[in-house]
Each structure stands twice: as structure tokens, then as C-alpha cells.
């Protein structure tokens, strides 16, 4: 795999051609350029992450599929535990990173709630979220209110509403996206997300 050197300026030119609802002819015409200029740099970035930290070796970089959205946004994930991932997305808005627990089964949701309700682990999660840099957006699938098995007065009632949890932000300036510096910035983001993802990986995956 070639060493990551950033996304070239021409990557934006390719994505601009895919704006709106591009025809099949347009997609066929830009396919080779998209692979070379948009998708392969993401592969190189993920390979660089794995070289820097072997824990990031289980990754996937998406192909385009039939849905136009996947042509316009280059996605990738790093799997850390069942349904616990680092996600990356490159598009005309730049590069975004997220630390995510999503698409859980009901048993995972029950384990998450039990860990939130327990004082030691629940207070730890509160602290981790409070200490995330302010440019992270915390979101997920939320119930309208805390589940009925927990009292409305529970000190972590708001956290008990979550049925998935994602912390995301933009990374990299436009200048650094065109250089190897983007890899260092993504690695920095993984360090910022490490405690949250570690907590989720300990408390929500199925027991083996």
C-alpha cells in the first residue's frame, strides 16, 4: 500500500462532478479517477493508522455501491469491538471522524443502561463525556424519556435515554488534508476518543 500523502486537489474536482444526482454515464466516466484520487487515499490513511497502532488493523473502506450517496462520500470504519467503531468520511466538506456505538441489539442496549445506572461505571462515562473537546457533537438514538425500569429522578436519566452513542467532529484543515499531516490529526482524534470508545468496548459488546 502506498504511503499516505493526503488527498490531492483533484479529488474535489471528481466529487464536484458527482454532486446532485449524477447519471450512470457520469459515474462510469469518473469511476477510475474516483478510485485513484478519493478512495485510495482513504485506504492509505487507514493503513497508516494500522501501522501506528495495531489495534486499528481491522478496517474497511467502502466501495461506491448503487446509492449515489456513497459515490459522493468516501466512508471507512475501524472496528474495535462489536458495534463499537471509529468512522471516517471524506467529501466536499472535508474529513470527519466519529467514535461510535451504533446498530446495537437489545441485549447491548440493556448492558449499556446497566453500566450507566451503576455508580462507578456511570459516573466514569459522565466524566469522559464532560472531558471530550468541545468541538465534538454527541448524538445517537435517544428515547423521549428514560426507560421505565429506571426512576425519572435517576442522576443519569439523560444518559439512560441513549440507544446508541456517537461523538463526531471535523478534522484537518483544507491545507493538511492535502498532506501527510492529516494522518497525525486523525491519530490525535483517536486519542481524544480513546476513553469513550474504551468504555463502550468494555461495557456493551456481547459476552463471549
H or E element that contains 165: strand 165-171
74-81 and 84-91 as β-strands: parallel, antiparallel, unpaired?
A: antiparallel
Reported as a pLDDT band with limits 50, 70 and 90, residue 170 is very high
pLDDT in tens, 1-20: 789 999 999 999 999 999 99
Residue 48 near residue 3 (C-beta atoms within 8 A): yes
Show me where the domains of the chain are located. Answer: 10-203
pLDDT in tens, 62-75: 988 788 999 999 99
Question: What single string gives the DSSP state of each residue in 45-113?
Answer: HHHHHHHH-GGG-SEEE----SSHHHHHSEEEEEEEETTEEEEEEEETTEEEEEEEE-S--HHHHHHHH
Task: Give the architecture (CATH level 2) of 10-203.
Answer: 2-Layer Sandwich (3.30)
Residue 60 near residue 74 (C-beta atoms within 8 A): no
Amino acid at each position: 500500500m502506498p504511503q499516505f500523502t493526503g488527498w490531492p486537489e483533484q479529488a474535489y474536482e471528481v466529487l464536484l462532478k458527482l454532486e446532485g444526482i449524477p447519471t450512470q454515464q457520469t459515474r462510469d466516466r469518473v469511476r477510475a479517477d474516483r478510485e485513484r484520487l478519493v478512495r485510495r487515499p482513504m485506504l492509505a490513511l487507514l493503513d497508516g493508522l494500522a501501522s501506528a497502532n495495531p489495534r486499528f488493523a481491522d478496517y474497511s473502506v467502502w466501495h461506491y455501491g448503487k446509492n449515489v450517496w456513497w459515490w459522493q462520500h468516501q466512508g471507512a470504519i475501524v472496528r474495535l469491538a462489536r458495534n463499537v467503531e471509529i468512522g471516517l468520511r471524506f467529501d466536499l466538506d472535508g474529513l470527519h471522524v466519529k467514535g461510535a456505538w451504533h446498530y446495537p441489539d437489545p441485549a447491548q442496549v440493556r448492558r449499556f443502561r446497566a453500566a450507566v445506572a451503576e455508580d462507578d461505571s456511570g459516573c466514569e462515562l459522565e466524566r469522559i463525556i464532560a472531558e471530550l473537546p468541545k468541538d465534538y457533537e454527541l448524538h445517537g438514538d435517544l428515547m423521549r424519556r428514560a426507560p421505565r425500569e429506571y426512576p425519572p429522578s435517576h442522576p443519569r436519566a439523560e444518559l439512560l435515554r441513549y440507544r446508541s452513542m456517537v461523538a463526531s467532529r471535523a478534522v484537518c484543515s483544507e491545507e493538511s488534508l492535502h498532506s501527510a499531516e492529516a494522518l497525525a490529526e486523525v491519530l490525535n482524534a483517536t486519542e481524544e476518543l480513546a476513553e469513550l470508545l474504551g468504555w463502550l468496548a468494555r461495557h456493551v459488546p456481547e459476552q463471549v
